[in-house]
Structure 1
Amino acid sequence: MESSKPHALLLPSPGVGHLVRHLELGNRLVAYHNFYVTLFVVFESHLSAGESQLIQSAKAQKLIDIVELPPVDISGKVEPDAQFFTKQAAITREIQPSLRSAISNLTLSPTALIIDLFATPALDVADEFHILKFVFYPSAWPLSLRLYLPILDKEIRGQYVDQKEPLKIPGCMSIQPEDAGSPMLDRTKHEYHVFLQRGSEMRMSDGILLNTWEDLDSMTLKALREDESFGSVPIYAVGPFVRPVEPSASRSNLLDWLDEQPSESVIYISFGSVGFLSAQQITELAFGLELSQQRFIWVLRPPSKKKNMPVKRHVLGDKGNDALDYLPDGFLTRTQGLGLVVTQWAPQVDILSHPSTGGFLSHCGWNSTLESILNGVPLLAWPLYAEQSMNAILLSEKLGVAVSPKVAPTRGVVGREEIEMLVRKVMGDQEEGKALRARVMELKVSGEKALIEGGSSFNAMSQFAKQCEIKLLRN
C-alpha cells in the first residue's frame, strides 16, 4: 500500500546500545518529521532483560511498529572463538531471508532502510526492494577511519602497529594504530578483512546518519563531507540520541542513596554490559577509590583472566562468578557509607541525571559518553575495546571533558595512586575539575540546542527527510 508519508525501516544489531539509538531515531522521525517507522528486532537466541524492557516501553508508546525477526543460529557459520565483527556479519547474513519476508509482508511500502554499523550486508536487501539505504553510525572520528581504511589498506605495507608514524586521516587528529580498535591490530586475521569490507560497503550507501552534532566534532564532519578520500556519501549529523529518563513504578534504592548525598559528590563507575577488568585491575581500582575518599557507585562484574577481554570473549577469573570475591579484604567494611558496589543492573541514565552525581568513570562507549555529556557530568576515560580509545582521546585531548590515565587501560594496569589522583581531579574543586565541569556544561547546552527546531541536528534530519520524500514522490 502506498502512503503520503515516508516509511523508514530500522535494523539495529543485537544489543541494548544499538537498540537505544535506533528507537530514539525512530521516535524523532515520527514525532518531528512525519514518518512511519518500522523497527526490526534482531537477536541471536533470546532478548536480554535490557532489550526486553526497551521493546516493551516502545510498544507502549505506540509511535513506531516493532517486528521481531526469528532468532538465528550462527554456530555452524563461524568459529566458536570468532571476533565480534565476524559474528555480527554472520548474524546479518542469516537474518536476510526473514528480513526479506518481513518487508514483503508490510502493509505500507517502505521508502528507506536504515541499518546499524554492523549490519551492512543488509544493504543488498534494500537494493532488491529498490529503496534508499542508509547507515546509522555512532560518531564522526571512528567513521572517518572506517571510510578511509580502504586507502590505508593500499598505502601501508605490513602491520599497522609496526608503523613508526601515527595513522593520518584527513581532517582528523592523527591516531596510533593500537588506538584504532582490535580489528586493526592484525591484518592477517579475518576480523580485519570484515572490518575493511564494512567500510567499503558504507561508501555505497545513500547516506550516513551520525549520532552526534556539529559543535561536537565540526572539523571531522567538514572533512567527511568535503574530502574526496571518504567518497561522496552524504553525511547527516542528527544526534545526540540517548535513552530518556522514564518514570518507573519501582524506584531503585541506588537513587534513594543518592538523594542523601551532597550535590555532585558521587562518582559513578561502569564499564558497560560487556566491559571487564582483570582481577589485578579490580584490586587497584578498589584501593584507588578508597584512597580518594570519594563517594561512589561501582557497577562491578567478575573479572577476566586476561586483560580487558573484548566483547563476548569473557573468561572468569580464578574465584568464579561472584564479583564481590575479587574486592580486597575488608574493602566493603572500610568504605561502608562512602560508596555502593552493585553486581546487577544499574539505572545508568537515572544515576547520571541525579544532582548528586558529579563524575563518571566510563569505558567511553558512545552511548555512555553522550549520556554523560547531556547530563553535564565530566568523565574519567577508561577505554577497553573497539572504538573506545578513539572516543577517550576525543573527550580528553580535544573536547576537554575527561581525564585519562598516563598508560591506557588496554596496555597495562593503572595503579591505585594514579586512580586516586584522577578521581580527585574529576571530582575536586581545583582548577582542572572546574574547567572539566564548565566545558561539559557548554556541550550539554550545545547538544540540547542542536535537536530543537532550527538547530543543526534538526536541520540535518530535515534534509534526510527531504531525500526520502523525493524518493517517495518518484515512486
Structure 2
Amino acid sequence: MAAGIFLNTWEGLESGLLRVLREESFYRQVPAQQIHAIGPLVHEDGDAEGLRSTDIECFAWLDRQPEESVVLVSLGSGGTLTTEQQVEMAWGLELSQQRFLWIVRKPTDASASAAFFNVGRDEENDPTKYLPQGFQEKTREVGMVVSSWAAQVAILSHPSIGAFLSHCGWNSSVESLAKGVPIIAWPLYAEQRTNAAMLVEDIGVAIRPSVEEGRKVVGRKEIERVVRAVVSGEEGKRMRRRAREIRDSSIESLNQGSGSSHASLAVVCEDWKTKSRGCEEELSADPAS
C-alpha cells in the first residue's frame, strides 16, 4: 500500500543497481513502488557540550596522532566477538604496529548479536577484565581502548582516521563512505555479509580478512596483514582514493538544485504538495465532506 520507498543511498554509490530496479524489464513487470534514493543520511554526533568524558579523551588522543594513521575498530550497536576471536583481534592489532582506536565490549560465545539490546549497559565495562593480559600495556603508545560506545560519526570525521574495521551494517557503511574512509570488512550477521561483498567487489573501498582453513576465527597474522595493508600499504592508498571519490559523490548528491538525492526528495515533496492542494480544493468545493 506504500506509495514509494526511500533508500539511504545515492546515484554515485549504486547507480547500476538503481538503474536496474527502475528500468530492467523483469522489475517493470512487478507492481513495485517508486524508488527514491535520498542518501547519504548520516546522523551527525552532537556538539562538544554533548560529548561524554570518554569521547573527549578519544578526541584529545586522536588530535595527537598523525593524519590518516589510526584504524577505528567498532562492530556496531550489537556486534560482539567470541572470546577466542577477541584474543586474536587484540594480538593482531598489536602485531600490526599501527595506531588503533578500539570500541570494545565484553566477548560472548553465545551470538554475534548478543549485545544488540544491551549496548551501553554492559555488566562488565572494564576492558582490563576481558582483554588479554598485558595487551593494553604493550599497546599503550599506539592504541586506545574504549568500552562499549563512542561518537562514531565524529570519530570518522577526524583527520587522523585512516581506516575503519567495521561490521558493515548499512548505517556504518554509509557513514564511512560519506567521510571518505576505507573499510576492513568484518560482517557478523543479517545483511552485513551482502554489504561487505558489495563494498569489496563492486565499490572497491574495502578489504576482507580470510579465515585460515581448519579454523573458526580470523587469526592474528591475517588481522596484522589487513590492518597494515589498509593503513600504510599501497592497497590502502588505492582504496582511500576510491573512498574519497565516493565521498565527493555523496556531497554532490545533496547539493541543492543539482544533486540527485536532493532532486529525488524534491520530486516527492512536490507530489505531496500537489496532492495536499487537491484535497483542500475538494474540501472547499464540498463543505459537507
Q: Structure 1 length as normaliser, TM-score?
A: 0.53
1:310·1:384 contact (CA, 8 Å) conserved in 2? no
**Aligned match of 1:224:** 21
Residue among 245, 254, 275 paired with 1:451 = 254
Once residues 230 and 397 of structure 1 are traced to their aligned partners in structure 2, the CA distance between those partners, rounded to angstroms, is 28
**Aligned match of 1:460:** 264
1:234-383 superposed matches below 5 A: 234-249=34-49, 252-309=56-113, 312=116, 322-383=126-187
User: Mind listing any 5+ residue stretches in structure 1 that lack a counterpart?
Assistant: 1-203
Give the Å deviation of 1:222: 1.5
Q: In the alignment, is residue 207 of structure 1 matched against residue 11 of structure 2?
A: no
Q: Deviations over 1:197-234 (max 9, x none)?
A: xxxxxxx3100011110121112111222323653310
Q: Deviations over 1:58-100 (max 9, x none)?
A: xxxxxxxxxxxxxxxxxxxxxxxxxxxxxxxxxxxxxxxxxxx
Letter in 2 for 1:212: T
Letter in 2 for 1:385: Y
Q: Secondary structure at the match of 1:380?
A: strand
2:108·2:114 contact (CA, 8 Å) conserved in 1? no
Once residues 144 and 115 of structure 2 are traced to their aligned partners in structure 1, the CA distance between those partners, rounded to angstroms, is 26
Q: Deviations over 1:271-323 (max 9, x none)?
A: 11211111111000001000000100101101112352356488xxxx96644
Greater RCO, 1 or 2 (C-alpha within 8 Å, sep 6+): 2
Residue among 218, 236, 239 paired with 1:436 = 239
Q: Structure 2 length as normaliser, TM-score?
A: 0.86
Give the Å deviation of 1:376: 1.2
1:278·1:305 contact (CA, 8 Å) conserved in 2? yes
1:20-419 superposed matches below 5 A: 204-226=1-23, 227-228=27-28, 230-249=30-49, 252-309=56-113, 312=116, 322-407=126-211, 412-419=216-223
2:7·2:37 contact (CA, 8 Å) conserved in 1? yes
Give the Å deviation of 1:243: 1.6
Once residues 251 and 273 of structure 2 are traced to their aligned partners in structure 1, the CA distance between those partners, rounded to angstroms, is 26
Once residues 344 and 234 of structure 1 are traced to their aligned partners in structure 2, the CA distance between those partners, rounded to angstroms, is 39
Once residues 458 and 390 of structure 1 are traced to their aligned partners in structure 2, the CA distance between those partners, rounded to angstroms, is 27
Once residues 36 and 268 of structure 2 are traced to their aligned partners in structure 1, the CA distance between those partners, rounded to angstroms, is 7
Give the Å deviation of 1:466: 1.9
Letter in 2 for 1:465: C
For the structure 1 residues 429 and 418, does the alpha-carbon distance in structure 2 shift closer, same or farther, using more than 3 Å as the test? closer
**Aligned match of 2:287:** none
Give the Å deviation of 1:334: 0.5
For the structure 1 residues 441 and 325, does the alpha-carbon distance in structure 2 shift closer, same or farther, using more than 3 Å as the test? same
Q: Secondary structure at the match of 1:414?
A: coil
For the structure 1 residues 434 and 230, does the alpha-carbon distance in structure 2 shift closer, same or farther, using more than 3 Å as the test? farther
Once residues 234 and 244 of structure 1 are traced to their aligned partners in structure 2, the CA distance between those partners, rounded to angstroms, is 28
Letter in 2 for 1:225: R
1:282·1:326 contact (CA, 8 Å) conserved in 2? no
**Aligned match of 2:225:** 421
Give the Å deviation of 1:365: 1.2
Letter in 2 for 1:458: H
For the structure 1 residues 308 and 459, does the alpha-carbon distance in structure 2 shift closer, same or farther, using more than 3 Å as the test? same
Once residues 248 and 84 of structure 2 are traced to their aligned partners in structure 1, the CA distance between those partners, rounded to angstroms, is 39
2:112·2:188 contact (CA, 8 Å) conserved in 1? yes
Letter in 2 for 1:413: V
1:303·1:323 contact (CA, 8 Å) conserved in 2? no
Once residues 386 and 310 of structure 1 are traced to their aligned partners in structure 2, the CA distance between those partners, rounded to angstroms, is 13
Of the structure 1 ranges 217-226 and 360-369, higher mean CA displacement relative to structure 2 is found in: 217-226
Q: Deviations over 1:167-216 (max 9, x none)?
A: xxxxxxxxxxxxxxxxxxxxxxxxxxxxxxxxxxxxx3100011110121
Once residues 441 and 300 of structure 1 are traced to their aligned partners in structure 2, the CA distance between those partners, rounded to angstroms, is 27
Q: Deviations over 1:223-263 (max 9, x none)?
A: 22232365331000011010225421256111011111111
Once residues 464 and 329 of structure 1 are traced to their aligned partners in structure 2, the CA distance between those partners, rounded to angstroms, is 56
**Aligned match of 1:29:** none
Q: Secondary structure at the match of 2:48?
A: coil
RMSD: 2.1
Once residues 305 and 313 of structure 1 are traced to their aligned partners in structure 2, the CA distance between those partners, rounded to angstroms, is 16
Once residues 256 and 404 of structure 1 are traced to their aligned partners in structure 2, the CA distance between those partners, rounded to angstroms, is 30
2:38·2:261 contact (CA, 8 Å) conserved in 1? yes
Letter in 2 for 1:215: G
Q: Secondary structure at the match of 2:112?
A: coil
1:276·1:302 contact (CA, 8 Å) conserved in 2? yes
For the structure 1 residues 343 and 284, does the alpha-carbon distance in structure 2 shift closer, same or farther, using more than 3 Å as the test? same
Give the Å deviation of 1:394: 0.8
